[in-house]
Amino acid sequence: MQMSWTDLSTNIGKIWNTELWKSGEAQIHLSQVVIALTLIIVGVIVIRWVGSRLVKRALSSGNASQNTVFAFRKLFSVLAYVLIVLIALPVAGIPITIFAVLGGALAIGVGFGAQNLLNNLISGMILIAERPIRIGDIVELEKERGRVEEIGNRCVRIRRYDGVHVLVPNSYFLEQRVVNWTLVSADIRSVVTVGVAYGSPVEKVRELLLQAADEHEQVSKDYPVEVIFEDFGESSLVFNVYFWTSVHQPMDIRRIQSDVRFKINGLLNTNDIVIAFPQRDVHLDTLKPLEIKMTKSDA
């Protein structure tokens, strides 16, 4: 026996109006849930589209920094999502007061199962508000160093100098020691150490080290280059060259240090100044003289 259209529509109507939850006079039906979810999904899509348009317009205008635009977008998204939920539920016929009944169970679930999630979410808001780290900053953690690419709801995405991405929980930046190389300025002081042989003309060495750093185009001219005669080492006269440079990538400072070392090596070789290497004197303490025998091999 085939089902008629009337019976089919009646069954669909029953499923559509299926009661999912009831407490006193408050009721929630399947139709209300479907309508609410549809409105929320459409609202999220619209919010993301509007948010991306606003970000592109703000960045293209050049009136706001990337970090300001990012903070505004996060705040706009959170407020818009909350507003969408508050609008979608009454439109679907689901009273907001229904959550007061579910509040106790929800609070217990959040307390036990979502402590880390809430901790990282709140920490992310604090990071955006206080800005101890910003998008584009170069940060150094325990064994990681890289550029901050995104501050998310749960974690911060860092791109290391080798291209690997590291995800760090937001709470880490508030609870642990973090070195931010570019918090106030991108200018960073660097040092290159070199040891020359004893007997080298130290004033000439100082002159050549200054020249090697001054001639590099990425060494900042806003700060003086300093050469410090650091120490009389075991096998060398130790000099440190201090200079400032503007860092925009984690590898920038290493590249500049390498270039300065190449330049120093070339200048010292040209002027016949020897870069020292480790030397050791060996003393033999014996009870009787050593017997030395010289032999000549036949060719």
All domains of the chain in start order, with CATH: 12-113 (1.10.287), 133-180 (2.30.30.60), 187-270 (3.30.70.100)
CA dihedral 107, 109, 114, 115 (to 10 degrees): 60
Alpha-carbon distance of 24 to 18, in angstroms, equals: 17
Q: Which pLDDT score, from 0 to 100, does residue 117 have? A: 75
Other CB atoms within 10 Å distance of the CB of residue 48: 13
Q: Which pLDDT score, from 0 to 100, does residue 32 have? A: 72
Alpha-carbon distance of 40 to 84, in angstroms, equals: 6
Which residues, in sequence order, are bridge partners of residue 180?
Answer: 139
DSSP 8-state secondary structure symbol assigned to residue 230: E
Q: Where are the alpha helices (DSSP H) in the chain?
A: 5-16, 30-61, 66-91, 98-113, 115-130, 172-175, 202-214, 252-270
Whether 182 and 247 have beta carbons less than 8 Å apart is answered as: yes
b/e sequence 185-200, b meaning 16+ C-beta within 10 Å: eeebebebebbbeeeb
Residue 192, token pair as written in the block: 């290159």
- AA letter at 205: V
pTM exceeds 0.85, yes or no: no
Q: What percent of the chain has pLDDT over 90?
A: 22
Q: Which pLDDT score, from 0 to 100, does residue 289 have? A: 72
Alpha-carbon distance of 286 to 144, in angstroms, equals: 53
Alpha-carbon distance of 72 to 76, in angstroms, equals: 6
Q: What is the pLDDT of residues 94-132, one digit of tens each?
A: 666 655 555 555 566 556 556 777 788 888 888 878 888
Nearest to 228 by CA among 256, 200, 199, 191: 191
Nearest to 127 by CA among 161, 107, 157: 157
Q: What is the pLDDT of residues 129-174, one digit of tens each?
A: 888 888 888 898 887 888 898 888 788 999 887 888 999 999 899 8
Residue 140, token pair as written in the block: 């150094």
The pLDDT mean for the chain works out to: 79
Whether 51 and 77 have beta carbons less than 8 Å apart is answered as: yes
pLDDT band at 1 (very low <50, low <70, confident <90, very high): very low
